[in-house]
Chains A and B, each alone.
Chain A
Amino acid sequence: MISVRDLTKVYTVPIKQPGLWGSLRSLVDRTTRDVVAVDGITFEVPEGQRVGFLGPNGAGKTTTLKMLTGLLHPTAGTCEVLGYRPKERATDFLRQVTLVMGQKQQLLWDLPPRETFALNRAVYGLTRTAWSDALDELVDLLDLAEVIDRPTRNLSLGQRMRAELCAALLHRPRVLFLDEPTIGLDVEVQALVRRFVRTYADRHGATVVLTSHDMADVAAIVDRVLLIGGGRLGFDGTLPTLSQTFGEGRRLEVRGADTDLGGIGLSRDDAGTWFVSGTAEAVNRALSAVLQAAPNADVTVTDPPLEEVLRRAFRAQGQAETPS
């Protein structure tokens, strides 16, 4: 489905010295430097999988998505999506993929979304029946009936984003690339978008590759997480595995114990609650011991927030701490 081998993207960016002298000098002596945005990453995504592509700002997530959709040409390495090389922009490839970028729009600003949908029917070569069926389904899932015939400029951000999703999926793509799809949306619309992506992917067996700053998106949508930092891939696995690997913040709390649990490694706070924090494995061992020593106690195990897990994961990879 998606096959990436040693994929690399290097941007050449001009460097200009500050001030007038720097401006004049750049006219005759143009200095550039290479910035490695993606550094030889390799991975596969099977059909129907939902993958979260996570990393700090500037890690190379969006650059990778743009190479996978053919917008950017790789500097080295290869990528194939559905058997196509994206940079060739074959018609049949473009008919089977979509890229949704939060806050960026394909909707025609002064016309109602229905006009953009009609335009997409023509440029994707959809039959009227296929278009109409897809439109009915998406209007229902995205709750768009009220807004489809109002000029786009008069729609709220949430309404526009829902209409954008509709426009991006009218051709029923098999692969969805979603770059920050919920950025800037209110909580209600974020939830709707997450629900919609899951429903669409389940119903049509679509493959999803997602980047997001919002960990709720990741938790709600993806089956698998790829961590990228400094253009390189780090962790590759499921969310539970990610939590186990980097989830040192897992905490076990025991209340109402009628025995001293200090002997099995727990500490006691001022309120009399026994507790221990550590890796998932350590906490699980402690839990087994607590259940044997104090079977009637009230036991609570809490996972650290996903943001915290990712911060630790990025730190472990030597990256900045802002998850994105």
Chain B
Amino acid sequence: MTPAPDRLGTTLVRIGRALPELARVSVSRHVAYRAELTLWILTSLLPLVMLAVWSTVTEQAVIAGYGQTEVARYFVATLIVRQLTGAWVVWELGFLIRSGRLNTELLRPFPPLVVQATWMITALPFRLAVLSPIVAALVWWRPDLLAFPGWTALGLTAVSLALAWALNFLVQVCFGMLAFWFDRSDGLFELWTSLWFLLSGYVAPMAFFPDAWRGWLDWLPFRATLGTPVELLGGFSDPSRVGLDLFRQAAWVVVAFVLARVLWTRGLARYGAFGS
């Protein structure tokens, strides 16, 4: 008798049941690695540097509707969104594959990427804990930096943040899985990161690009990982385009998910399982 294959519904129920314990153990790991995590979080404070740079620039002239106040609001929003959408699965996967530590994960009857996702999502409260005093100090200094955008905008921001997190995670998964084929897959991710810095809205608002460029830049995945939720949180979004922006984010999540599935299936077929 051939054993029955796994069913999607059963698998999802099983994952759901395991998540609380998985989350608890993940939090214990973050507590154990709290110093490393804090340093990691503090390395993502580039938006504060960009705030200083663009504040100086916009002191002379308003650019694309951004004066000093708008620039400050934009980069505080960037700081928050960056912390809430960050992941490091590309390095984890690369290490697991190259060292053979993926073997342990593959021997468990549980999707390894769900373990990784849980680990990274449970880091969010720690990220918020480190971020809160910084944001509080900024808002105390300039109360207009973080205006309440309204409940609808806040709800849409939450949806956009979730999609941006998922896209960041899945893009990193795709690059991480290139370690099945290349020894130095990290280098390819560095290439992505270089483009991401320029085209996601991280070092400059997307509004600073010429209109002719925006037409196609907005369709690339970079803005969907950061710029879209930043613009929503900072109150810069054009209400008539929010639906389209969210659609682009969701579409890229689907594309990245499908690509990750293909890479996972093909990668496992050629996995050498060396090391442990």
Cβ of A71 and Cβ of B103 under 8 Å apart? yes
Beta-carbon nearest neighbor of B21 in chain A: A122
User: For the complex, is B22 an interface residue (Cβ under 8 Å from A)?
Assistant: yes
Which residues of chain A from 34 to 74 have a CB within 8 Å of any chain B CB? Answer: 66, 69-73
- Return chain A residues, CB-CB under 8 Å to B1: 83
User: For the complex, is B106 an interface residue (Cβ under 8 Å from A)?
Assistant: yes
Beta-carbon nearest neighbor of B23 in chain A: A122
Cβ of B110 and Cβ of A101 under 8 Å apart? no
Cβ of B22 and Cβ of A123 under 8 Å apart? yes
Cβ of A98 and Cβ of B33 under 8 Å apart? no
Cβ of A125 and Cβ of B17 under 8 Å apart? yes
Cβ of B107 and Cβ of A98 under 8 Å apart? yes
- The distance from the CB of A109 to the nearest CB of chain B, in whole angstroms, is 9
Which residues of chain B from 229 to 276 have a CB within 8 Å of any chain A CB? Answer: 268-273, 275-276
How does the 8 Å CB contact mask read for B77-107 relative to A, with 1 for contact and 0 for none?
Answer: 0000000000000000000000010011011
Which one of B2-10, B49-57, B164-172 is at the interface?
B2-10
How does the 8 Å CB contact mask read for B94-127 relative to A, with 1 for contact and 0 for none?
Answer: 0000001001101111100001000000000000
- The residue that B276 contacts in the complex, of A83, A104, A108, A119, with Cβ under 8 A, is A104
Which residues of chain A from 242 to 275 have a CB within 8 Å of any chain B CB? Answer: none
Cβ of B109 and Cβ of A119 under 8 Å apart? no
- Return chain A residues, CB-CB under 8 Å to B21: 118-119, 121-122
- The residue that A101 contacts in the complex, of B6, B28, B276, with Cβ under 8 A, is B276
Beta-carbon nearest neighbor of A89 in chain B: B106
- Return chain A residues, CB-CB under 8 Å to B106: 70-71, 89
- The residue that A108 contacts in the complex, of B29, B108, B270, with Cβ under 8 A, is B29
User: For the complex, is A93 an interface residue (Cβ under 8 Å from B)?
Assistant: yes
Interface residues of A (CB under 8 A from B): 11, 66, 69-73, 82-84, 88-95, 97-99, 101, 103-106, 108, 110-111, 115, 118-125
Question: Once bound together, how far apart are the Cα atoms of A71 and B32, in whole Å?
Answer: 30
Lowest 3 A-B CB distances belong to which pairs?
Answer: A104-B276, A122-B21, A94-B109
Interface residues of B (CB under 8 A from A): 1-6, 11, 14, 17-22, 24-25, 28-29, 32-33, 100, 103-104, 106-110, 115, 268-273, 275-276
- The residue that A94 contacts in the complex, of B20, B107, B271, with Cβ under 8 A, is B107
- The distance from the CB of B257 to the nearest CB of chain A, in whole angstroms, is 19
Question: Once bound together, how far apart are the Cα atoms of A93 and B108, in whole Å?
Answer: 10
- The distance from the CB of A198 to the nearest CB of chain B, in whole angstroms, is 23
- Return chain B residues, CB-CB under 8 Å to A92: 3-4, 6, 109
Cβ of A91 and Cβ of B103 under 8 Å apart? no
Question: Once bound together, how far apart are the Cα atoms of A133 and B271, in whole Å?
Answer: 36
- The residue that B3 contacts in the complex, of A71, A90, A104, A120, with Cβ under 8 A, is A90
Cβ of B271 and Cβ of A111 under 8 Å apart? no
Cβ of A123 and Cβ of B276 under 8 Å apart? no
- Return chain B residues, CB-CB under 8 Å to A103: 276
Question: Once bound together, how far apart are the Cα atoms of A91 and B11, in whole Å?
Answer: 9
Cβ of A91 and Cβ of B269 under 8 Å apart? no
Question: Once bound together, how far apart are the Cα atoms of A120 and B100, in whole Å?
Answer: 20
Cβ of A110 and Cβ of B18 under 8 Å apart? no
- Return chain A residues, CB-CB under 8 Å to B100: 104
Question: Once bound together, how far apart are the Cα atoms of A88 and B29, in whole Å?
Answer: 30
Apart from A71-B106, A73-B269, list 4 A-B contacts with CB within 8 A: A104-B103, A122-B18, A123-B108, A124-B110
26 contacts between A and B (CB under 8 A): A66-B273, A70-B107, A72-B271, A73-B271, A83-B2, A90-B6, A91-B11, A94-B108, A94-B109, A97-B107, A101-B103, A101-B276, A104-B275, A104-B276, A106-B104, A111-B25, A111-B29, A115-B28, A118-B24, A118-B25, A120-B108, A121-B21, A122-B19, A122-B20, A122-B22, A124-B109
